[in-house]
Chain A
């Protein structure tokens, strides 16, 4: 188990490092000199321009620049915003809370509804299964921006149950403002998780060890819980890990649609304002979220299925 942890950690760090190289290096892909890219349409004073040039260490070779940048990032210094001049870390930190709350709300919805629907479909073949299949087939093709539009149109404008904007005051107000965005995020993921759950449970129901449990006279509830569901968990957990990391990416769209003041909206605003350091910082965060989610889901799986604790096995 310890070896597996180390192995996974190593893979995690490698991917993060390589991604950071790409994110760092992207600045130099654009046409024009790097400081011009950062300034965008703004016309800086000579002093400001010199300050940025110094900050970028443009006199140093590229690998050194990367190293300096990386060490700064690891110390929490994500640079300065081109628009506000304040530290990027500050701006990002402010929005992170909203985004985390939104994603947490959404993933709860996904897990409850997705698992519920998938389990119902697996345990009741026939009409229930077919209906669930049709529903989920449809839901996985509804992108977050269409879902947002639909939800606003019906529940905010027409029915007025929830606000169309995610900016609210007070804890209850904040939660109320996040309901629709969380649903918009959840639509696709729910369908996907329901399908995964259904398939995983169906596969386990046919397994021989389940027959052993049945033939010993164990109550159905116990058979389902300890043998069917438990063994079906690994792919379900993989899916939940993947979906969580996917949700972070989808916040780019949903937060903008609902004006939720999180890092997704911050990113889009920064792109429009050509505030590249902010974009870079969020990109790093998103990749980190991706990689961490995956690693956690792998480890949880290994906890459940002891055969997965051997390095290299995926089944």
Chain B
């Protein structure tokens, strides 16, 4: 993750061996820089998330069983050679279900964050650039959306459109716009009043170009860090909704759905319900740590409650 800005080169340079090709030496250099920027906790978090991502993508190849394959003889089998993490009530392999489940569990938050950013960033930049009434209006809208908890909006959406990933994702995307856009707006506002922006404007560069090439680049680390944290919380919200049967539903092997296996729970078999729970917690922890490191703070995971900046919990 590059944390410094690159300078514009608008003039042609006669041979530039540094940019012509990436030599092995400079490749190592980038890796080392990323490592120091992230710190040991950030690297561990990134490594864990990378592992989960690989398992998610390669699930069809790596998973030992089909996630929906029932084997009633193996009902509630404990951890063993054939079932590394045991099996659930109808004999489905937990490990395979976790691996396949990561696909839905990660896809949902990814969509939420992407859509939120796509809607929120232009809004925030508009507000930051034009200021005045535009800024006030956008701020008011953000405050209003922020007043409605994401979970509630999702519940409303599901009540109207029926259960499923789509209404849940749509509702959460709207709910998360203020969370992400707020940071963009504040950071962009600070950048907007920086002297270099005035200098660029005087030189004749257009609004769009200044914004995209310069302001966005400078605020990228903060925004990316916040996006990682938002990913974590969207993961929690969607898993909660799936747990309630409102988003992803059984028999799909989503992590939230797996935790809701009350049969296993009441019969005292904790592995089928705790394993996905632990995985969720580890993922969210990694995301918040990574997010904090990317945006340049010390890793202090904090809750995305409205006004958390006022409480100083993230210092």
Binding site for B on A (CB under 8 A): 15, 18-19, 22-23, 26-27, 29-31, 37, 137-138, 140-146, 149-150, 152-153, 157-158, 164, 188, 192, 195-196, 199-200, 203, 235-236, 238-239, 242-243, 246, 249-250, 252-253, 256-257, 267-268, 270-272, 274, 276, 279, 283, 286-287, 290-291, 294, 314
The interface residues of chain A lying within 8 Å CB-to-CB of B284 are 141, 143
Stretch in B86-94, B130-138, B145-153 with 4+ CB within 8 Å of A: B145-153
Q: In the bound complex, do residue B300 and residue A137 qualify as a contact, i.e. CB atoms below 8 Å apart? A: yes
Partner of A141, one of B151, B232, B274: B232
The interface residues of chain B lying within 8 Å CB-to-CB of A26 are 156-157, 160
**Beta-carbon nearest neighbor of A138 in chain B:** B285
Query: Interface 1/0s, chain B 249-291, versus A by CB < 8 A?
Result: 0000000100110000111101001100100110011001000
The interface residues of chain B lying within 8 Å CB-to-CB of A253 are 151, 240, 243-244
Q: Is B155 an interface residue (CB 8 A)?
A: yes
Q: How distant is the Cα of A276 from the Cα of B157 in the complex, in angstroms?
A: 11
Majority DSSP secondary structure for residues of A touching B: helix
Q: How distant is the Cα of A27 from the Cα of B161 in the complex, in angstroms?
A: 10
Q: How distant is the Cα of A143 from the Cα of B235 in the complex, in angstroms?
A: 10
Given A143-B240, A153-B270, A157-B265, also A270-B159 (CB < 8 A): yes
Q: Is B27 an interface residue (CB 8 A)?
A: no
Partner of B305, one of A19, A236, A246: A246
Q: In the bound complex, do residue B159 and residue A271 qualify as a contact, i.e. CB atoms below 8 Å apart? A: yes
The interface residues of chain B lying within 8 Å CB-to-CB of A252 are 151-152, 155, 240, 244
B42 to chain A, nearest CB (A): 14
Q: Is B143 an interface residue (CB 8 A)?
A: yes
Q: In the bound complex, do residue B239 and residue A140 qualify as a contact, i.e. CB atoms below 8 Å apart? A: no
**20 cross-chain CB contacts under 8 A:** A22-B144, A22-B148, A27-B160, A140-B301, A143-B284, A146-B281, A149-B265, A196-B313, A236-B311, A238-B310, A239-B313, A242-B308, A246-B149, A249-B151, A252-B155, A256-B244, A268-B244, A271-B246, A287-B148, A294-B306
Query: Interface 1/0s, chain B 302-315, versus A by CB < 8 A?
Result: 11011110111101
The interface residues of chain A lying within 8 Å CB-to-CB of B311 are 196, 200, 235-236, 238-239, 242
Q: Is B245 an interface residue (CB 8 A)?
A: yes
Q: In the bound complex, do residue B265 and residue A153 qualify as a contact, i.e. CB atoms below 8 Å apart? A: yes
If A239-B313, A290-B147, A314-B310 are given as contacts, then 19 extra A-B residue pairs at C-beta distance below 8 Å, sorted by A number, are: A19-B147, A29-B160, A141-B288, A146-B277, A149-B273, A153-B273, A157-B266, A192-B302, A192-B303, A235-B312, A242-B305, A246-B149, A252-B152, A253-B240, A268-B155, A270-B159, A271-B246, A279-B156, A287-B147
**Beta-carbon nearest neighbor of A165 in chain B:** B266
Q: Is B56 an interface residue (CB 8 A)?
A: no
The interface residues of chain A lying within 8 Å CB-to-CB of B259 are 145-146, 149
Q: In the bound complex, do residue B239 and residue A141 qualify as a contact, i.e. CB atoms below 8 Å apart? A: no
Q: How distant is the Cα of A15 from the Cα of B142 in the complex, in angstroms?
A: 11
Q: In the bound complex, do residue B274 and residue A149 qualify as a contact, i.e. CB atoms below 8 Å apart? A: yes
Partner of B265, one of A141, A152, A268: A152
Q: How distant is the Cα of A268 from the Cα of B154 in the complex, in angstroms?
A: 11
Q: In the bound complex, do residue B160 and residue A195 qualify as a contact, i.e. CB atoms below 8 Å apart? A: no
The interface residues of chain B lying within 8 Å CB-to-CB of A276 are 159-160
Given A144-B240, A253-B244, A270-B159, also A286-B152 (CB < 8 A): yes
Q: Is B158 an interface residue (CB 8 A)?
A: yes
The interface residues of chain B lying within 8 Å CB-to-CB of A157 are 265-268
**Beta-carbon nearest neighbor of B289 in chain A:** A137
Q: In the bound complex, do residue A30 and residue B161 qualify as a contact, i.e. CB atoms below 8 Å apart? A: yes
